[in-house]
Amino acid sequence: MMNDSLEDYLRFAQIERGLSNNTLLSYRQDLLEYFSFLKSLGITTWEVDALIIDSFFAQERDKGKAIASISRMLSSLRKFYQWLFRQNLIKQDPLLRIDSPKKEKRLPTAMSTTEVTKLINMPDTTTDLGIRDRAILETLYATGMRVSEVINLNEDSIHEELHLIKVFGKGSKQRLIPISNVAMSWIKKYQITVRNKTLLESGKFEKAIFLNSRGGKITRQAVWQMIKRYCQLAGINKNVTPHTLRHTFATHLLENGADLRIVQEILGHSDISTTQIYTNLTQKHIMDVYKRTHPRI
């Protein structure tokens, strides 16, 4: 019965809430770990008290789980228990008495302009692979899109004359974001010289713009590995991921005077407090410039 209600909830989350496959996978992993914990205690119902919930998270902390991971698991359980309560599968919600852990205040990593330029210039653009990789890197840095958004772009997503891209972000929320002339030119070059040839040779019909060598949609893992490889070749020692380029995009816009609300809109953040973390990075930049340039420091 417990397993049935868990699967019912995940179907509800996918259909009614429009969650992405990656988010659903995270929910499933979190809830199965909690389910396994209950079974280890011999508990055969979701109807538990707050002490059981506390014991579960104490175990997670003992395993060395990061606060961010525990917060995510707590969020997964809150939503699940809210659903159980609405479905009259439990009499009371034990999560109402559980406080969220205090978040670690960690600033995202951002690259310097020099580092970004070195990374973007690394692909060998005399090759098909290099042209594709250059187009992906230009797009990530020019738009601040999540890697999942970039790999899901298709030809209908791009409004070339308006220099806008239609993006479907978290929860299938749609937004229009600008793209630079430089990034647009590399996308067009890739489409004309590489993508069309790849589709013709593979005999596949794929809507996604960015493809692998077999004519299928490129994966998040492939983009992650590509960035790691070029960073190593460029001698960039930072832990750079596709999301680092998103952080860098936002930081560089704010450093150059962009309005916080505009950056929020472009990134697709529903809450401006999520965007405000980048102001800490720009304040650090201001202090660095001040210390470097003032004659009486």
Rg for the chain (alpha carbons), in Å?
Answer: 23
Based on the residue annotation, tell me whether 285 is a catalytic residue of this protein: no
Based on the residue annotation, tell me whether 243 is a catalytic residue of this protein: yes
Based on the residue annotation, tell me whether 269 is a catalytic residue of this protein: yes
Based on the residue annotation, tell me whether 170 is a catalytic residue of this protein: yes
Based on the residue annotation, tell me whether 106 is a catalytic residue of this protein: no
Instruction: In whole angstroms, give the CA distance from residue 133 to residue 223.
Output: 8
Instruction: In whole angstroms, give the CA distance from residue 220 to residue 77.
Output: 27
Q: Among residues 9, 27, 141, 278, which one is catalytic? A: 278
Check: CB of residue 275 under 8 Å from CB of residue 264.
Answer: yes
Q: C-alpha distances in angstroms, 170 versus 7, 43, 195? A: 22, 35, 27
Q: Among residues 132, 146, 195, 252, which one is catalytic? A: 146
Check: CB of residue 153 under 8 Å from CB of residue 146.
Answer: no
Based on the residue annotation, tell me whether 34 is a catalytic residue of this protein: no
Q: Among residues 170, 189, 220, 228, which one is catalytic? A: 170
Q: Among residues 166, 189, 220, 243, which one is catalytic? A: 243
Cα 67 to chain centroid distance, Å, stands at: 18
Q: Among residues 132, 134, 195, 246, which one is catalytic? A: 246
Q: C-alpha distances in angstroms, 283 versus 115, 149, 156, 269, 290? A: 20, 29, 39, 21, 10
Q: Among residues 166, 175, 189, 269, which one is catalytic? A: 269
Check: CB of residue 22 under 8 Å from CB of residue 148.
Answer: yes
Cα 83 to chain centroid distance, Å, stands at: 26
Find the Cα–Cα–Cα–Cα dihedral 175, 179, 185, 191, rounded to 10°: -20
Among 32, 23, 230, which Cα is nearest to 141's?
230
Active site residues: 146, 170, 243, 246, 269, 278
